[in-house]
Structure 1
């Protein structure tokens, strides 16, 4: 099995620079930011796709470059509103195999989304249950967090079941919020903070199955949003499994806006899964 899940590289070429993520585990190349010539960047991307046997490219494009990417065969899959210090990042994607391009669950996910949108927004959530406690995590929690993720997810896009990996995330500024029951972490979520562009991804949401009836995730998201707001980070977004009614419902009811779907985006459980983009402006 591929031991290196991903590598981030700053690529500098004569005609462009790019912040890249070589995502070996998910067989894709991601461009998180770039400057310069889109045409030259496209040529470089296609060469790297062949070298690394990737079958998807996803680019966080500036809004004004969207038409340039379309001309190069890329398709619009969604938007991260206010991602770049208030300006949108447009998810422009290209596929290199039919299998990666075609989603067999798309209509099921459309129907699930319709059901989610029928829920009352801003619904009052269940009170925080007795005998449970909520707090922000620190470095001492790395091992317990890794155990939680290992128990909840058989397969996950990043090695969250590795305590050293979780420790590095906490040390690099990722915020984790946890719920404990009888001194054991039973639910957690994180906010992956981008301090350059002042946005954060709410991710790594996990609850042990026998604790899911209490609506713990909404309380975790609430706390993470407060932490982000206090750091003047107003762009909060998440990428939720399109087949998960529960997680999409959490974000919809917490005031996040649906902004698109990334097809066959990452490996979770036993297959590539489509992921829904949810975005919230915490300043309003």
Structure 2
């Protein structure tokens, strides 16, 4: 069962048993004082083991006073001027321990830093093309996500969900070989905050190793610049080399680690935050 997206006032949250958490995705202006007790009550009601929030600098102090700890930081996330913060509180302290994954997370981060800002050029092979997805592409896009991810924190396996998000400032990009979608990604655009999350990267197992992720990322960055976006970031699997190296090579900076944050393919994984100013 997928976690649900809901409103608390004008703020946007995701919560449910799949990720076993409450995630404050968007804090509406003026709602800090009411959102904190609301998400605390929701977590207590359902017994969630983590509360995770993404907030602008103006709200950070209220969350730290409420017992939240900083896990990641993006300078100039909002409008290119106000910093963004990712904070967490763990009702179940065991979830705050990355456990055996600590070594892998450290190894991947070390490798990423060695390749930092060394972009590679990977032109598309003959017969492949890249384009922004339309609602008509939703079934093929969902099929790709089903092939790549056994489980995922959002219901990207469902064409109806993908169509709905296309109407809600999520832009999907596809690489096709003829009529077959072989790779995809998305940009979740916050026009008011002038930032975008680069996410949902997937390549069909039969098409891996051809440099599709860097091509998708470069294309999305170009589109985000045209859309007036100042800062782009990703929340990437901390122990997964390919996507981490892609962002490090593209000039993204490490912002911090979100411990046991996201359920992917049946297990909790820690995620690293990487960010870049498009004005650089």
Regarding TM over 0.5, the answer is yes
More relative contact order in 1 or in 2 (CA 8 Å, sep 6+)? Answer: 2
Matched, 1:172 2:168: yes
Task: Indicate how the Cα distance of structure 1 residues 120 and 277 shifts in structure 2: closer, same or farther if over 3 A, else same.
Answer: closer
Distance 1:269 1:143 in 2: 21
Q: TM-score, normalised by structure 1?
A: 0.90
Instruction: State the partner residue of 2:88.
Output: 93
The yes-or-no answer on 1:265 pairing with 2:261 is: yes
Match of 1:14 in 2: none
RMSD: 1.9
| Separation (CA, whole Å) in 2 of partners of 1:36 and 1:120 | 38
Out of 3, 6, 9, the position equivalent to 2:7 is: 9
**SS in structure 1 opposite 2:44?**
helix
Closer, same or farther: CA 33–183 of 1 in aligned 2, 3 Å: same
CA separation in 2, counterparts of 1:50 and 1:242?
28
Query: Which structure 2 residues correspond to residues 133-152 of structure 1 after superposition, within 5 A?
Result: 133-152=129-148
Paired with 1:213 and 1:99, the residues of 2 have a C-alpha distance of 36
Give me the TM-score of the superposition, normalised by structure 2.
0.92
TM-superposed CA distance for 1:200, in Å, is 0.8
- Per the TM alignment, residue 37 of structure 1 is displaced from its structure 2 partner at its CA by 7.9
Describe the superposition over 1:61-117 as per-residue Cα deviations: whole angstroms up to 9, x where unpaired. Answer: 332543443333211100133222221111111001133221121232012110111
Matching residue of 2:200: 204
Supply the distance in 1 between the matched residues of 2:138 and 2:31 (Cα, whole angstroms). Answer: 41
Counterparts of 1:246 and 1:156, CA distance in 2: 18
1:176–1:65 Cα change, 3 Å: closer
CA contact (8 A) 1:20 1:29 kept: no
Contact 1:176 1:191 in 2 (8 A): yes
Count of residues in Structure 1 that have an aligned counterpart in Structure 2: 276
Q: Which runs of 5+ in 2 are unaligned?
A: none
Of residues 46, 50, 55, the one that matches 1:56 is 50
Relative to structure 1, is the Cα distance of residues 65 and 159 closer, same or farther in structure 2, using a 3 angstrom cutoff? Answer: closer
- CA shift at 1:30, angstroms? 2.3
- Select 2:77's aligned residue among 69, 75, 83: 83
Shift of 1:163: 0.9
Contact map agreement 2:169 2:190 (CA 8 A) in 1: no
Q: Given the superposition, is the C-alpha separation of residues 120 and 98 from structure 1 closer, same or farther in structure 2, using an over 3 Å criterion?
A: closer
In the alignment, the residues of structure 1 paired with residue 93 and residue 106 of structure 2 have an alpha-carbon distance, to the nearest angstrom, of 21
Gap regions ≥5 residues in structure 1? 12-17
